[in-house]
Amino acid sequence: MAKISIISAGSWGTALALLLYNNGHQVTVCSENEEEIRMLQEKREHLTKLPGVPLPEKMEFTTDMERALSDRDLLVMAKASPYVRSTSCRIAPLIRKGQLIVNVAKGIEADTLMTMSDIISEEIPLANVAVLSGPSHAEEVGRGLPTTIVTGAGDRDTALYVQNIFMNPVFRVYTSPDILGIELGGSLKNVIALAAGIADGLGYGDNTKAALITRGIAEITRLGIAMGARAETFYGLSGIGDLIVTCASVHSRNRKAGYLIGKGYTMQEAMDEVKMIVEGVHSARAGLELSEKYGIETPIIQAVGEVLFDDKSPRLAVDELMQRVKKDELAPELWETAGNREK
């Protein structure tokens, strides 16, 4: 049995807390939000973010961050990405040397273009930081529905430890050394999900969504490779897997925000309606800057940015994407060898 604290009492943090408790671990959920913690203590259910999922009587909920972070085998950083730096800075004095922190937040910091694990490492240099990501809606994990995910770490022993802590018969965990690729896939897919939602809001069909998913993963892969990530990662769980579930699911807050924008809402109106952090808006800014920094063509990310930040008509943005200059799907030089294949 491991002693584990979850930093954040949101939907994902609560779902993972239940998963880890059911795996036989001692679990504490900590948050500075006194009203939220009081609700969890009294109702044993997150009434607003994970309704219908009962929480065990022996699971601890607290606002005492110092006690929650003391003498723990593992900490789970489940804060929404805009709050990861401030939270890491605040808890840094409480973290012992070598403390394992598993980041489950998805995003890229717009100002610095840093991933969440890099931010945690910068603010808490004594920590050993790993990541956990993939196609995993909190609503389904909380209900115990089969889910598959990937953990990334700086060394294999850490990855195997995280795998063993989280894995159970309905939650399968793979390991990978490609932390950067895992985090880029988990962040930039939210931008493509906004595009998929916008297309739904405009009344477009499955053909459009399939095009956005396939061409979207091509953009993410090009950018990721340029940044030093491995191509295989984007064809796996934290790449195409997470992209599919986020673009297609009714649980996806990014798809929902995009849908509302397609229906005529402004970006702010859509975010207010969703009532949760829409990570794709923050990641869109970072995606635009990363594309420019590395000189990578990302037309879908660019189009989403124009809709979000330049008030471009969503329908016009789709029209312009469809009317871009003609392209080969594969590298043009492959035509030179196409006729040489064995019959």
189 annotated active-site: yes
Among 102, 89, 94, 83, CA closest to 25: 102
The 3-class SS string of the chain reads: CCEEEEECCCHHHHHHHHHHHHCCCEEEEECCCHHHHHHHHHHCCECCCECCCCCCCCCEEECCHHHHHCCCCEEEECCCHHHHHHHHHHHHHHCCCCCEEEECCCCECCCCCCEHHHHHHHHCCCCEEEEEECCCCHHHHHCCCCEEEEEECCCHHHHHHHHHHHCECCEEEEEECCHHHHHHHHHHHHHHHHHHHHHHHCCCCHHHHHHHHHHHHHHHHHHHHHHCCCHHHHCCHHHHHHHHHHHHCCCCHHHHHHHHHHCCCCHHHHHHHHCCCCHHHHHHHHHHHHHHHHCCCCHHHHHHHHHHHCCCCHHHHHHHHHCCCCCCCCCHHHHHHHCCCCC
Q: Which is the catalytic residue, given 189, 256, 326, 343?
A: 189
- CA angle 23-26-32, nearest 5°? 115
The residues that are catalytic are 189
